Chains A and B, each alone.
Chain A
Amino acid sequence: MSSSNTLSNPHWTGARSETSFHADGRKGNNVIILYAFTAAALLVSFIADMRKTIRGLEIALKRFLRIGPAFLTMLVLVSIALFVFPEETIARSLTSGSIWLATGIGTLIGSIAVMPGFIAFPLGSVLRNSGAPYMVVSGFTTTLMMVGILTFPMEKKYFGVRLALLRNLLAFLTALAVAFATGLYFGETGF
């Protein structure tokens, strides 16, 4: 029952269109600042020492090419995962059932999914409005940020398989602790 409510909830569609408008502006600003900063740094560097700057650009290219395939793999996995877990599915599974079960599901989905903050947090606020407790939202957004199953191909290139596994596992446990603390703080655990 609550699931169909979620989808027809006016909050849902309202929040979505409003947020994407905000998000684009903010995101665009960040990118402009980043480009301006990079351009300024390059210019100063060029004036100071042209040869050094060219070597720096070579290093940049070399590092980028080395990670290229892993990066592409991640993009492919993300494109498939976004199709398999659309926002509606996520919302439905986080707003029904017991708080513990929903938190568990939330952390699992958060670990698999990759989504930028400007989608994740509006989604979190929609979840809140559709009745998801803070603990569930916290578990979902924190694992989303810290645990990356889809970014694993890239992470293992830098850290090696064992450290990448270990880091993600520890991050998952940390996220559970954060979710639990959030639940305690907002008095949702029933203790």
Chain B
Amino acid sequence: MKNSKMPIFLAMSVIYAGFLLYSSIYGFEPGQQMWGNFRDFSLQMLKMMPCIFILIGLFDVWVKKETVERHLGTDSGPLSYLWAVLLAGTTVGGIYVALPVASALYSKGAGTGVILVYVSASAICRIPMTLFEASFLGWEFTMVRFAVSIPLVVLVSVLLGRYLDRKGWVMPDEQE
């Protein structure tokens, strides 16, 4: 976060926290519900985050840049997109997990298109989520969604990646 934005962020946080505190003292219903939502959702995400970031850190020190570049780099061909989809299938959590992982992959030399495929695919084909979906909405529904969404997502991400590469796009984290 840029230093210039820090005061705004802090001010908003204080206002939000103050609102929640006010609500809990004076029994203001909407505020109490928001606190409940905030607590449930935070706990659910925060219990995964330490693991995710530790694994990313270990990945960073153990996996060689050349390895990532060879399999997921810009010049590693169509197979790299398949790896991205398979990797996405094993991802847990949502985009809040996929983004840090994508950033770690990118800093190790993965191509722009590959990380875009990974982030988008992790939204739609995580295995635990898919099993859950099928059990509620039926296999037919899930299969139709897979058959249409995966090719589309890969196609769109690859084209977007090429476009960005032509424009000389660099992931913001890497400019620091």
Contact = CB atoms under 8 A, between A and B. Distances in A.
Nearest to B103: A158
A138 to B, nearest CB: 6
Contacts of B148: 177-178, 181-182
A1 interface: no
A58 B60 CA distance: 11
Interface in B41-55: 41-42, 44-45, 47-51, 53-55
Nearest to B49: A64
A174 B16 CA distance: 35
Q: How large is the interface on B (under 10, 10 to 19, 20 to 34, 35 or more residues)?
A: 35 or more
A125 B171 contact: no
Interface string B6-21: 1001001100100000
Contact of B1 (A70, A116, A151, A185): A70
B51 A35 contact: yes
Nearest to A181: B148
Contact of A60 (B57, B119, B169): B57
A60 B62 CA distance: 13
Contacts of A185: 144
A157 interface: yes
A1 B36 CA distance: 31
Given A64-B49, A79-B38, A157-B172, A178 B56 contact: no
Interface stretch (B69-77, B79-87, B126-134): B126-134
Interface string A46-59: 00000011011111
Contact of B152 (A71, A128, A167, A174): A174
Interface of A: 19, 23, 26-27, 30-31, 34-35, 37-38, 41-42, 45, 52-53, 55-61, 63-64, 66-67, 69-76, 78-80, 82-83, 114, 116-118, 121-122, 124-125, 128, 134, 137-138, 141-142, 145-146, 148, 151, 154-155, 157-160, 163, 166-167, 170-171, 174-175, 177-178, 181-182, 185-186
Contacts of B156: 170, 174
Given A124-B136, A158-B173, A170-B160, A182 B56 contact: no
B24 to A, nearest CB: 14
A76 B12 CA distance: 10
Contacts of A125: 136-137
Given A122-B136, A124-B133, A155-B99, 13 more contacts: A23-B132, A31-B47, A42-B54, A61-B53, A72-B13, A74-B96, A83-B34, A146-B124, A157-B172, A160-B171, A167-B116, A175-B149, A178-B149
Contacts of A53: 58, 61
B121 to A, nearest CB: 10
Contacts of A56: 54, 57-58, 60-62
16 contacts: A34-B48, A52-B61, A56-B62, A59-B60, A59-B61, A69-B1, A70-B1, A72-B13, A122-B136, A142-B149, A158-B173, A159-B171, A159-B172, A171-B120, A174-B152, A178-B148
Contacts of A64: 49, 53
A161 to B, nearest CB: 9
Nearest to B126: A117
A148 B144 contact: no
